[in-house]
Structure 1
């Protein structure tokens, strides 16, 4: 089981990578989802927009794009692309630290790979609750 973090032409300050990898593995275990390989790629808005346009035919900026690459629905092999530009803007917009927002998006991608969706209002509310639960567990804080 491997979890990797790489940066594509951006600088990202990702602290405690060993703790974070262990937490992500635990998140998959709690959700009853196997995990084989997970690649996080931190990038710019421009880079992620190209991915969004090419692979999803969406012409919008986004903070994250998640791809399930495996053939077994019970064992995750995936790639998660995260725009550091969006993370910074959203941290300011939602009045949270960049570290907290980065982790929210990291957990959001993992939750997608565990089967959670966010297309409807109800799905989005459920996803947000799961993100908050993960942030609370990881940082030991209460999200109101």
Structure 2
């Protein structure tokens, strides 16, 4: 599996430990969902202006959001032919993650990990348009985060980068 991380913003500091965390939780989602090892995901950290432009352009919603997913494959997966298969891009607003971590009472790392897992699940076809879909997606999110030591309750298990 290949996880590419890019930081296109300067408002929130990003260190190697945060990069390692998002790579680890992305790989955990892909493994848990049985995705072929040849899969590639791109994670992009941006600011609120950048994500608002994307939200306006691609969704017609002129306001910032916390995470957007851009799947490159929809429906049945294409055969990889032995090479890597790009699943898509997950774009995360780090200022939104920072604000939401305070609002929800857990670490910044846990919030970024949550947004990463949420975005990757969208790439894999999960959605939350109905109550049933939302419950299914939330259960998968929390299972991966718990496996990564980033429980919903926080506390000692909410270690930033272990």
SS at match of 1:86: helix
Q: Distance in 2 between matches of 1:62 and 1:16?
A: 20
Other-structure match for 2:66 = 63
Q: Distance in 1 between matches of 2:73 and 2:125?
A: 14
CA deviations 1:98-142 (Å, max 9, x no partner) are: 011110111111111122101223322222221111111011x54
Q: How does 1:96-107 map to 2 (within 5 A)?
A: 96-107=106-117
CA deviations 1:63-99 (Å, max 9, x no partner) are: 1000012477325520110000110111011101001
Other-structure match for 1:143 = 152
Aligned Cα root-mean-square deviation (Å): 2.3
TM-score, normalisation: structure 2: 0.76
Number of residue pairs matched? 143
SS at match of 1:15: helix
Higher RCO (CA < 8 A, seq sep 6+): 2
**In structure 2, which of residues 89, 93, 110 is the aligned counterpart of residue 83 of structure 1?**
93
Other-structure match for 2:26 = 24
Structure with higher Rg: it is 2
Q: Is the 8 A contact 1:39 1:79 kept in 2?
A: yes
1:4 aligns with 2:13: no
Q: Distance in 2 between matches of 1:143 and 1:17?
A: 21
